[in-house]
Amino acid sequence: MLLRASGQPDQKDYDLNSVTDDHADSGVDFGHWLRSLTEATIQNRWDDLAPIRDQADVAMGTQSMVDTLVVASGFNGITRVADATGIPLDENTQQMTIDMRESTGIERFNYAEKSDRYDLITT
């Protein structure tokens, strides 16, 4: 995934487990605020988000705080497009991320496994 690739210019190695592990430190700048803003937004915790916005504003700057919300809201839409169409991984992504998908637990999100888990009631 691009989180790993994006560390290359800065010669940084980001912890990909931070994507699925609530407590892992990603190593990304202002990772705590990125996580807090993103999670409150995606989980519709609007009352929680208001003070987080204020604190993140001070910590990382207004524009960076706002742009965090901009990216999160965009992906709140595009993930639903992927999930509603059942598209397969792009071929090169499929090949490049086998180990990463297993180690981070993302593999359990694949559509066949979801069907096995969530459609059981109707089978």
Partner 1 sequence: MQVAQSEQNVEAWLPIAVSNWTHKPEPGKIDAMYELTHYPLREGLIEAHEKVWESIARPGPFWTGAERIAMVAESRAATSCLLCAKRRQALSPYAVDGVHDSETDLDAVIIDMIHRIRSDPARLTRNMFDQVMSAGITPEQYIEVVGVVNASVIVDTLHAALGLPLAELPTPQPGAPTGQPPANVTEEGAWVPIAVGNERPGIINGLSNNREPNIARSMGLVPSAVELFFTAFRPHYALQNIPLELKQSQAEFIASRVSALNQCFY
Q: Which of residues 27-46 bind partner 1 (CB under 8 A)?
A: 28-31, 34-35, 37-39, 41-44, 46
Among 67, 98, 102, 103, binds partner 1 (CB under 8 A): 67
Q: Does 56 bind partner 1 (CB under 8 A)?
A: no
Among 55, 58, 59, 70, binds partner 1 (CB under 8 A): 70
Radius of gyration of the chain, Cα coordinates, nearest whole angstrom? 17
Q: What is the DSSP string of 106-121?
A: GGGGSHHHHHHHHSGG
CA-CA distance, 80 to 82, in Å (whole number)? Answer: 5
Q: Does 59 bind partner 1 (CB under 8 A)?
A: no
- Taking a C-beta distance cutoff of 8 angstroms, is the pair 19, 31 a contact? no
Q: How many residues bind partner 1 (CB under 8 A)?
A: 78
